[in-house]
Amino acid sequence: MRTHAIRLLPGADLRLALEHETRARRLAAACIVSCVGSLARARLRRAGGEALLERAGPLEIVALVGTLSPEGPHLHVALADGEGRVLGGHLLEGCPIHTTAEVVLGELEGVRFARELDPATGWKELVIRPRE
């Protein structure tokens, strides 16, 4: 695995910035290795549906996990408020960085990630193929 270190600045949208880095670095298959930082606001999709959760920050990023493909990411985030309460869900657009986000991406060699509609789930799910 090859790694890529990125620092995102205040105001950058976390999800959009990761999508941009995936394209700019031509990553065919990548994952989040590490992420620390904070968000000014959170916009998340809750598990099992379309319900959105929106919270004002600042919020500490205590975990970010997921896969990145040229067709888009699948990212889950856990965030802590000033009282230490944690909330989480699918990371959506609309989550600007508060102070910083220090991200390490892992580029997986020899494979390519794609996203295809899975009739069983109704969502575009990960498909893993050999890299050509």
Given a cut of 70, the residues of the chain with pLDDT beneath it are none
* Per-residue pLDDT, 123: 85
Please tell me the predicted confidence (pLDDT) of residue 131: 85
Burial class (CB in 10 A: 0-12, 13-18, 19+), 4: middle
pLDDT for 46 equals 87
pLDDT for the residue 132: 76
Q: What is the pLDDT of residue 33?
A: 98
Give CA–CA dist 41/96, Å, rounded. 6
* Domain harbouring 30, CATH code: 3.30.1330.80
At 121 the pLDDT is 87
Please check whether residue 64 is in contact with residue 32, taking contact to mean a CB–CB distance below 8 angstroms.
Answer: yes
Name the residue range of residue 85's domain: 2-130
The predicted-structure confidence for 73-89, as pLDDT tens digits, reads as follows: 999 999 999 999 999 99
pLDDT of residue 48: 74
Torsion-angle region of 66 (φ positive above 0: left; ψ -120 to 50: alpha; else: beta) = left
How deeply is 112 buried, as exposed, middle or buried, from its count of CB atoms within 10 A (0-12, 13-18, 19+)? middle
Report the domain count for the chain.
1
Report which residue type is found at 78.
Answer: A
